[in-house]
Amino acid sequence: QMSSQAFANFVGTFVNGRHSVENMRTRPYPFIAADNSFGTYRGRLYVVYANNEPVGSGNKPDIWCRYSDNQGTNWSAPVRINDDPNPQDNHQWQPAIWTDKDTGRLYAKWYDTRRTPTSDSTDVYASYSDDGGVTWAPNQRLTTEKFRIDCSSCGGGGTPRYQGDYDAIVSNNVTSMSVWGDFRNGNFGSYAAYFPDFAMLVSTVSDTASLSDSLEVMVSVPAVKLYDYSVSFSAEADTADGFTISFPAGDTLTSYPDSLPVKIAWSNMLPRLYTITITGEGPNGTPVHKRDIELLLTDPFVTLQAPNGGEIFYARTATEIVWNSALLDTVKLEFSADGGTTWELISDSAIAKHSSTVQPPKLRDKPGQPPIPLEGGLKRFDWIVPNQISDNCLVRVSNLADPAVMDVSDTPFSIIAAPQPRWRAQVSG
């Protein structure tokens, strides 16, 4: 049976026989879904569409829902799904819908410019109705950043341009998943998101530790998007041996925001970079999110960065000794003016002045060795260059507790005499 009623008018601006938003051709046709659940609204038909409000080419569209309980013979009054305070100022267009088979929940997603006063960039928003399309949940933004609509580098043809047609939303009895065309990188990207959904964070994303040790991190759900189910966590390492992972306070959260500890222990590991993956998921396995923790397990080491050879310093001037280290409490700094035959103490309790996250060439990974970490950044020590003129100078940095853990300047540097001051008497004319 075909319904003879028509609701949609213009969607955006009519250009060259096409409905468009910001030079993006937009599909003007409605989406129809039926409630096939065994709930209150079983058999109800829904039609969701974009339509300018007020009507007429050049105005801005909203997303509308109507329903029918008699196979399309009669339809309800329209309900606006988008809930932005000033809908006539923003474009909402290109909806997709889905009715969940188990719950009867009606989902909708669409493009939406409400965060862009100029309306030239868009996000993706979504909502749902649990009462047969009469009322809708507060709209939720799915995109992590907005993107320009008129994508000249994406490759679509025509005026208005063909781009972004292929999107959808599907669901199970816990959540839905939306997919859409996304232009944030200047191409036709394919993105997806759960809704309802939960955010997930871990307190530590990387660490450096010894070959036998332990670490406690916190995994948290700091916020949700209309998500009210439980979240259960699990964890695994990228190797089957050596790690023991436990959840001392249990592995499930039921209210948000909230967090729980994860205990990671290991022993007698080989030195290399390991990955611990923590997974959080809803009661049926969705939504699901994963967070990685990178663990560099290593013996203590120290790497001298400067002076590292070839430098020329004036005697009695200030410079910095720079090093990187792991698992060392205190380092010893020494100086040699004779190529390492004899050494003079600079400090046996060197304390770093400040840190830097810039990784110099000497810190690049070396074949057959674990990646070199920046454990809190590079360490720096203020040093007054001694008054020992020599072109065969070296600096050595070592572990105070174990002198075998050390590094020396790769090649000698030079100390030269500072230029003598010159005085000139000024004689008045």
CATH number at residue 22: 2.120.10.10
> What value does the mean pLDDT of the chain take?
91
pLDDT of residue 165: 78
- Judge if 359 and 266 occupy the same domain: no
Residue 106 pLDDT > 80, yes or no?
Answer: yes
Structural domain for 209, as ranges: 198-297
- DSSP codes, 47-94: EEEEEESS-STTS-EEEEEEEESSTTSS-PPPEE----SSGGGS-EEE
Residue 342 pLDDT > 80, yes or no?
Answer: yes
Residue 238 within any structural domain of the chain: yes
| Domain termination site, one of 141, 160, 195 | 195
Confirm if 332 and 402 have CB atoms less than 8 A apart. Answer: no
Confirm if 85 and 51 have CB atoms less than 8 A apart. Answer: no
Q: Which of 320, 334, 332 lies closest to 383, judged by CA?
A: 320
Residue 27 within any structural domain of the chain: yes
- Judge if 163 and 255 occupy the same domain: no
Tally of domains within the chain: 3
- Judge if 163 and 211 occupy the same domain: no
φ/ψ of 250, rounded to 5, equals 95, 165
Residue 221 within any structural domain of the chain: yes
- Judge if 155 and 234 occupy the same domain: no
| Domain termination site, one of 195, 223, 256 | 195
- Judge if 64 and 99 occupy the same domain: yes
pLDDT of residue 93: 97
Residue 148 within any structural domain of the chain: yes
Q: Which of 288, 312, 303 lies closest to 414, judged by CA?
A: 312
294-319: average pLDDT: 95
pLDDT in tens, 269-283: 999 999 999 999 999
pLDDT of residue 3: 56
pLDDT tier for residue 298 given thresholds of 50, 70 and 90: very high
pLDDT of residue 423: 78
pLDDT in tens, 169-218: 999 999 999 999 999 999 999 999 999 999 999 999 999 999 999 999 99
- Judge if 92 and 207 occupy the same domain: no
pLDDT tier for residue 59 given thresholds of 50, 70 and 90: very high
CB under 8 A, 24+ apart: contacts of 54-57: 54/88, 55/9, 55/10, 56/9, 56/10, 57/10, 57/12, 57/13, 57/14
pLDDT of residue 13: 93
Residue 428 within any structural domain of the chain: no
Q: What are 294's strand-pairing partners?
A: 206, 275
- Judge if 138 and 181 occupy the same domain: yes
Residue 225 within any structural domain of the chain: yes
pLDDT tier for residue 6 given thresholds of 50, 70 and 90: low
- Judge if 142 and 29 occupy the same domain: yes
Q: Which of 7, 98, 113 lies closest to 60, judged by CA?
A: 113
- The region of weakest confidence among 130-134, 252-256, 359-363 is 359-363
Residue 288 within any structural domain of the chain: yes
Residue 7 within any structural domain of the chain: no
- Judge if 226 and 267 occupy the same domain: yes
- Specify the CATH number for the domain of residue 258: 2.60.40.3450
65-81: average pLDDT: 97
pLDDT of residue 4: 56
- Specify the CATH number for the domain of residue 382: 2.60.40.1930
In one-letter notation, the amino acid at residue 248 is: P
- Judge if 166 and 216 occupy the same domain: no
| Domain termination site, one of 195, 219, 246 | 195
- Judge if 232 and 256 occupy the same domain: yes
pLDDT in tens, 349-396: 766 554 444 443 333 333 344 444 444 578 999 999 999 999 999 999
- Judge if 38 and 182 occupy the same domain: yes
pLDDT of residue 372: 44
pLDDT of residue 354: 44
